[in-house]
């Protein structure tokens, strides 16, 4: 079965500094990987996805993620963090389910950006 792991429960960065939220995956075959963000009392919002092509994927709000096959990683990055980026971030992988697909989510990483 496919899975993703987010090794950090929380990441703290100062505003203006670069940020990285880590995700590693375990899949058979080619992975379809996603990042979602959850703001307080809201549902998850799509940030970006990797299916094929360039290893560097650009998404919403200035975020990007780098797919690294040799390290089985899909880390989320942003060059300059904003206080408003503080939220809960989930990595996900698409898994086969009967005749369709489902998303398997990591446990989430809370990002705190301090002013």
Partner 1 sequence: IAGITQAPTSQILAAGRRMTLRCTQDMRHNAMYWYRQDLGLGLRLIHYSNTAGTTGKGEVPDGYSVSRANTDDFPLTLASAVPSQTSVYFCASSDSSGQGDPYGYTFGSGTRLTVV
What distances in angstroms separate CA 81 from CA 26, 28, 36, one per listed residue?
A: 28, 34, 17
Compute the least distance from the CB of residue 58 to partner 1, in Å: 14
Beta-sheet strands, E only, within 6-115: 10-14, 19-21, 24-26, 33-38, 44-50, 56-58, 64-68, 73-78, 87-97, 100-105, 109-114
- The site that binds partner 1 (CB under 8 A) totals a number of residues, namely 25
Interface pick for partner 1 out of 25, 78, 81, 108 (rule CB under 8 A)? 108
Nearer to partner 1, 23 or 113 (CB): 23
Nearer to partner 1 by Cβ, of 46 and 79: the residue is 46
Q: Are strands 109-114 and 10-14 parallel, antiparallel or unpaired?
A: parallel
**Torsion sign (Cα): 80, 35, 1, 56:** negative
Asked if 25 is part of the footprint of partner 1 (rule: CB under 8 A), the reply reads no
* Tokens matching residue 27: 């899949």
Binders of partner 1 in range 27-56 (CB under 8 A): 34, 36, 41-46, 49
- CB nearer partner 1, residue 45 or residue 80: 45
Residues that bind partner 1 in the complex, under the rule CB under 8 A? 9, 34, 36, 41-46, 49, 90, 92, 94, 97-108
């Amino acid at each position: 079965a496919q899975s993703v792991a987010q090794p950090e429960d929380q990441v703290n960065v100062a505003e203006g500094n670069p940020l990285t939220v880590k995700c590693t995956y375990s899949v058979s075959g080619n992975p379809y990987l996603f990042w979602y963000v959850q703001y307080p009392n809201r549902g998850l919002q799509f940030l970006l996805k990797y299916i094929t092509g360039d290893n560097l994927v650009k998404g919403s709000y200035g975020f990007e993620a780098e797919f690294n096959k040799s390290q089985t990683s899909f880390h989320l990055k942003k060059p300059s963090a904003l206080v408003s980026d503080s939220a809960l971030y989930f990595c996900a992988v698409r898994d086969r389910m009967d005749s369709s697909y489902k998303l398997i989510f990591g446990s989430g990483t809370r990002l705190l950006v301090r002013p």
